[in-house]
Amino acid sequence: MKLIGRLRAMASGYGSHGASFARKSLMGWMATAGGPDEDITEHVETLRERSRDLFAGTPLATGALRTLVTNTVGAGLRLSPSIDAEALGLSDDEADAWERQTAREFALWSKHADAARTATWEQLQSLALLSALMSGDVFVALPTIRRGGSIYDLRVQLIEADRVCDPSPVKPGVDVCGGVELGKYGEPVAYYVAQNHPGSTRSLKMQSWKRVPAFGARTGRRNMLHILAQERPEQRRGVPILAPVIESLKQLGRYSDAELMAAVVSAMLTVFVKSDAPDPMAGLGAGIPAADRVDDDDASTMELGNGSIVGLAPGESIDTVAMNRPNAAFDGFVRAICVPIGTALEIPYELLLKHFTGSYTAARAALNEFWKSVRAKRAWIVDDFCQPIYDEWLAEAVARGRVVAPGFFGDLALRSAWSGAKWYGPAQGQINPRVEVAAAAARVDAGFSTATRETAELTGERWEDVNRIRAREIAQQAMPPQETA
């Protein structure tokens, strides 16, 4: 009876479909279910290495990551303080003045934000996002470093994913994996940062690790930010965005290289002369001038030359193969492969290839779909990177008296009200600007949107700034022309 019950369970519900082992198409599919550490953390090093290799040498992978970074961050997300004036008891004019002053102070700090002194605040945003996408995650330390010429001491230090790794040895009883120590409830307690990059060969020092608590024991201040997109609960390390398409991208890169080489070989014009008494130095490739030969030291290769005449040694002959290059099917095949790659990366293949041949409606639909992904990634980088760092900077600005915010340190609700901010980035762009502007104006007139939001979406600028400059332009246009002597 137990056997019958087991057979019924296997043949019912999903057991007859996706979970079936009886179907020929599924009986060889042996998938296992591991925990996040087994499925992700133990493989992330290989995924990270291969993703970086693709970025370095496969144009399609490079373009995909740069497309995401350019559209999500662009030249940098722009801070627009947006405090809760009602909760703080401020008038609209008072709130506007406070926001302008705070934005000016933040701009003073942004030029000196990088602990390494190699990037601006805007460039740090791009580097953090690119690193998180390519490597799966990136870590951000927030040290205080006093430096001449800078009013503020807060600094931003980006730490590459490789440097956060398991220490050697690991203390017994400590839950550490992938360099992340978890607490009782699965929360990050500390990060182990290698003092030397594990892949570096320049340093001869012995490797050592520094344990960095995730939060300050007394203040609760975040000592380290971990920028990653989680795909599973209890996940410690991030997965490179190229992970699902690594094989497809690599094979497509190999195919492209082979087609390119075949086209080059097919374009070569080389004449071979067979003689009973050839030059003793003749042979395949020997007739090419030495200045044009590049691999004389490689005995496994032979060279063809542009317009070369090459003699053959006794017994040698040439059989040619019709190359039929360029391959007429190459373009269609590449596009077909790019469709699932773009689907996995949430980049329509038109944007992935930067090739638009469809109708306006199709192009607009592809752009709209892509920008859903861009907005999600922008919200991610704002929530995990920009806003936490702004909160830390604002605390220092208030402590120094550069920004006046009564109750900031005494009431968490007031602190939250003072810390409100919006971040604006590059606009979506318009395929037909006239249609897009008319639609934006209609949304504002109907009350479905605001001029502030539409201005940011269309131009990436603040409506207040645009309106102020426009008012000045109108006033100047209304002034009578100055008489000249």
Domain coordinates of the chain in residue numbers? 246-330, 428-477
At 30, the pLDDT band (50, 70, 90 cuts) reads confident
The mean pLDDT value for 384-409 works out to 95
pLDDT at 286: 59
- Distance separating alpha carbons of residues 349 and 334, to the nearest angstrom: 10
Q: Is the pLDDT of residue 309 over 70?
A: no
pLDDT at 264 over 90: no
User: Per this entry, what is the length of the chain?
Assistant: 485
pTM exceeds 0.85 for this model: no
- What span, in angstroms and rounded, lies between the C-alpha atoms of 259 and 325? 8
Tens of pLDDT, residue by residue over 170-184, are 888 888 999 999 988
Least confident of 10-14, 218-222, 246-250, 345-349: 10-14
Is the pLDDT at 277 greater than 60? The verdict is no
Mean pLDDT of 292-304: 67
Q: Read off the pLDDT of residues 371-391 as tens digits, 9 standing for 90 and up.
A: 899 999 999 999 999 999 999
Q: Which residue shows structure tokens 């192009």?
A: 363
Q: Which residue type does 437 have? A: V
Average pLDDT, the chain: 85
> Under a CB-based contact definition with an 8 Å cutoff, are residues 343 and 330 in contact?
no
Name the nearest CA neighbour of 130 among 156, 163, 158, 165.
158
pLDDT exceeds 90 at position 400: yes
Residue 55, pLDDT score: 95
The pLDDT of residue 433: 78
Whether residue 23 is predicted with pLDDT greater than 90 in this model: the reply is: no
How much of the chain, in percent, has pLDDT values that exceed 70? 84
Contacts of 198 (CB under 8 A, 6+ apart): 162, 163, 165, 207
CB 138 within 8 Å of CB 435: no
Statement: residue 397 has pLDDT above 80 = yes
The Cα 377–Cα 67 span in angstroms is 12
pLDDT tens for each residue of 140-167: 999 999 998 899 999 999 999 999 999 9
Whether pLDDT at 471 is above 60 = yes
Taking the C-alpha atoms of 424, 426, 432 and 433 in order, what is their torsion angle to the nearest 10 degrees? 60
Residues of the chain above pLDDT 90, percent: 46
- Structure confidence at residue 109 as a pLDDT band (50, 70, 90): very high
- Is 441 or 426 the better-scoring residue by pLDDT? 441
* End-to-end CA separation in angstroms for the chain: 113
Q: Return d(Cα 127, Cα 138) in angstroms, integer.
A: 10
User: Per-residue pLDDT averaged across 219-232, rounded?
Assistant: 90
Ramachandran bin of 149, using left for φ above 0, alpha for ψ from -120 to 50, beta for the remaining angles: left
Spatial separation of the C-alpha atoms in residues 129 and 69, rounded to whole Å: 7
Q: What is the DSSP string of 114-171?
A: BTTSS--HHHHHHHHHHHHHHHSEEEEE--B---TT-S--B-BEEE-GGGB---SSPP
Over residues 105-117, the mean pLDDT reads 94
Three-class DSSP labels, 309-363:
EEEECCCCCCCCCCCCCCCCCHHHHHHHHHHHHHHHHCCCHHHHHCCCCCCHHHH
Least confident of 54-58, 273-277, 456-460: 273-277
pLDDT value, residue 280: 47
